[in-house]
Amino acid sequence: MNLKKPIEYEKRPVGEWLTALLDGSLALPLFQRSYVWTRPKIEDLILALLAGRPVGTMLLIDRYDQHSQQRFSPRAPADTGVDPNRAVELILDGQQRLTSIWRAVELGPAAASNGASEGAFLKVRDIHSRQLEPESVVWPSSKQAGQLLDDPRQALEKHWIPLRIFHPHGADSSDEPARDRVRRWCTRAVPGDSELCFDLRDRISRQLRQRLLERNIWFARLPGWMSRSEAIEVFVKVNESSAVIRKFDIAVAELDRDGERSLRQTISDWSERTPSSEAFFGRDEQKMIPEVGELILKIACLQEGLNPTDGQFTKEPVLGRIGAGDGLDDIKEGITWTFGFLADEKIWTRNRLPSWVPLRVIPALYPTFRPLLDASDCEGTVRRWLRAYLWRGFVTERYRLSANTRLKQGYDALREVFKSRTKQRLSVSTLRRTVPVFQEALPKESELGSLDHPLAPPTRTNALSRALLIATLQLGAQDFGSGRSISSTNVHGREAHHLFPKGLLRRKLGGANLEARVNHCLNYALVSKQTNLNMSSKPPLEYLRDRFVRDRDLGESELRVRVESHLVPYEALAVKSGREARDYELFLKRRARLVAKAVRDLADGKRPLSDGGA
């Protein structure tokens, strides 16, 4: 980009910035991410403004170019409650700072409607001093703030001044001049002493309020001839050193068009309609929207024949697919379908998901295999294929390195299989010949049960360990205490429990690498919190048998069923005194046999079957 002339810098006092936000003449481009600053950052900014420290430069662009064409659709900053269509300027850089000042002084109809029970206070070192020295910004609880605002004398005793009396003009429907806000607060803070009231009002007005509102913040304005794409390039360059700028933000900027719905808002609406979304992406929109957005972009890359890397996110074919209503709808529908598919595999939450990597592929394939789902006699086969692909992606080494390149290879191969095979020719053997992940070796039974190289606990972000734990849920994973099978409604109440208690093993194992052996992946089962609390450091079969001694309706045969529903060999939990170490090693080997068989079944697209815990 070659600038026709240098960008000129101007300055504008804080009071004018706030007025522009309040009257709606200053807004944000629709693609801007949401407000994210925390209270410590707001405090640092307010104190910097009062102390005359640098606060950075703003970057603005006129909403319309020199040909009166709208560059970007506007949206109102957080909490302002103004109509963004009145905007003539847009903030490309500086949203967090201006919104922070706004929130500190509580401007605008939306802020005023929150009531008088919330707000920030400026704490000064000594409010009776001739020179008021700002010390901190405090955010009392709503109850305390309400008390302090109702009775300014209490605030005066704490040397606290409400920042809401600093705003440049009335913040609500009243026509009360801003200077009268300061006067009225001081009158109530020192009732009956007009001289002291005048002195306090004069010091607050001149030394604090005026200092804040007259403090200049410099800004650069992009020229009127600059095109939309050039403005986005400047936006990227300005933010490229920031950890918070993401390729998703740039893609959103490219997709923003006059009168069209923001991609951010589209994702937010989809998440509200998709309950499973919260379990995988959370409810914090500041984190959820970019994560879902980047997943959408990766899927679009695969569907357009590109490696799903962030460098491809702003390529024209990718943006074209997302910008088209049908393309984006297919992707959202594919992700939603995949959530249901994961639920069938006993994966309901993010913290139990072994790996995100194969999950880029299944939603991308959705438009290709969707016609087969509509044919009821083919749906079972489609699910078996996808189950086999998913589990091989979880337990093999295929996606440990060069994941994006290999993702595309897997997608391309599966897509061709789905497109070219008829019902009569559908078989897992076809996948073995054509899809690379099916040529990777599955983990061996001897490797799974090894104490020389113990597997990491499933509570860590280890794909294989998490996958093995999920494999142990496939027979229902009944709670030892209640007998309830694991489900989407109770999985959040399950905890990873040591089958051989930590206390017992630490006393009896000894030697090097003790904690890794104690926390071996196969020494865990997911049980309810209450059941976990009732466990002890006794040998496992002893504490389990204590259950049916306490519960007369629970016989040992029923307890065995519950235990073996976790792929736990019941008899192998028996421990003889003096042989704890040997019995633990034997238990791991026997459980490894069961788990390895279940993994082989899943990796072939089959459901594991109980074999009586042998």
Q: How far apart are the first and last CA of the chain?
A: 70
**pLDDT above 80 (res 76):** yes
14: confidence class by pLDDT, cuts 50, 70, 90: very high
Per-residue pLDDT at 210 exceeds 60: yes
Q: Is the pLDDT of residue 487 over 90?
A: yes
Among 97-111, 166-180, 477-491, 565-579, name the one with the lowest average pLDDT. Answer: 166-180
Torsions phi, psi of 215, nearest 5?
Answer: -70, 125
pLDDT-based confidence at residue 400 (cuts at 50, 70, 90): confident
The angle at the Cα of 429, spanning 385 to 607, to the nearest 5 degrees, equals 45
CA nearest to 90, candidates 34, 30, 36, 7: 30
SS percent in the chain: helix, strand, coil, step 5: 55, 10, 35
SS3 159: coil
Q: What is the mean pLDDT of residues 444-448?
A: 94
Rg (CA), the chain: 31
| pLDDT value at 80 more than 80 | no
The pLDDT score that the predictor gives to residue 359 is 83
Q: What is the pLDDT of residues 279-321, one digit of tens each?
A: 999 988 878 988 999 999 999 999 999 999 988 988 889 988 9
Q: How confident is the model at residue 114 (pLDDT cuts 50, 70, 90)?
A: very low
Beta strands in 35-159 (DSSP E): 58-62, 74-75, 89-93, 121-124, 134-138
pLDDT at 552: 61
Q: Which residues contact 408 (CB under 8 A, 6 or more apart)?
A: 302, 305, 306, 307, 308
Paired strand residues for 29? 74
Question: What's the pLDDT band for 420 if we cut at 50, 70, 90?
Answer: confident
pLDDT on residue 198:
94
Share of the chain above pLDDT 90, in %: 52
The structure's pTM equals 0.74
Residue 55 has pLDDT above 80, yes or no: yes
| b (16+ CB within 10 A) / e for 523-560 | bbbbbbeebbeebeeebbbebbbebeeeeeebeeeebb
pLDDT tens-digit series, residues 323-377: 877 899 999 999 999 999 999 999 999 999 999 888 899 999 999 999 888 776 7
> Across residues 262-266, what is the average pLDDT?
82
Mean pLDDT to the nearest integer, 89-100: 90
Tell me what pLDDT residue 30 has: 80
Checking phi first, is residue 79 left (phi over 0); if not, alpha (psi -120 to 50) or beta? left
Tokens (6 digits) for 483: 């007998």
- pLDDT for 244 equals 46
Least-confidence region, from 141-145, 198-202, 438-442: 141-145
pLDDT at 259 over 60: no
Q: Which one, of 566, 605, 157, 245, lies nearest residue 390 by Cα?
A: 605
Greater confidence (495 vs 539) lies with 495
Q: What is the mean pLDDT of residues 506-526?
A: 90
Q: How far is CA 56 from the centre of its chain?
A: 29
Q: What percent of the chain has pLDDT above 70? A: 89
Can you tell me the distance from the alpha carbon of 155 to that of 149, in angstroms, rounded to the nearest whole number? 8
Q: How many CB atoms lie within 10 A of CB 225?
A: 12
Q: What number is the average pLDDT over the span 165-177?
A: 59
Q: How confident is the model at residue 509 (pLDDT cuts 50, 70, 90)?
A: confident
Q: Please indicate whether residue 263 or residue 408 has the higher confidence score (pLDDT).
A: 408
The alpha-helical segments, DSSP class H, found in 115-177 are 142-150, 152-158
Higher pLDDT, 115 or 405: 405
- Position 611 scores a pLDDT of 57
Highest averaged pLDDT of the listed ranges 8-22, 238-252, 410-424? 8-22
In contact, 122 and 133? CB cutoff 8 Å? no
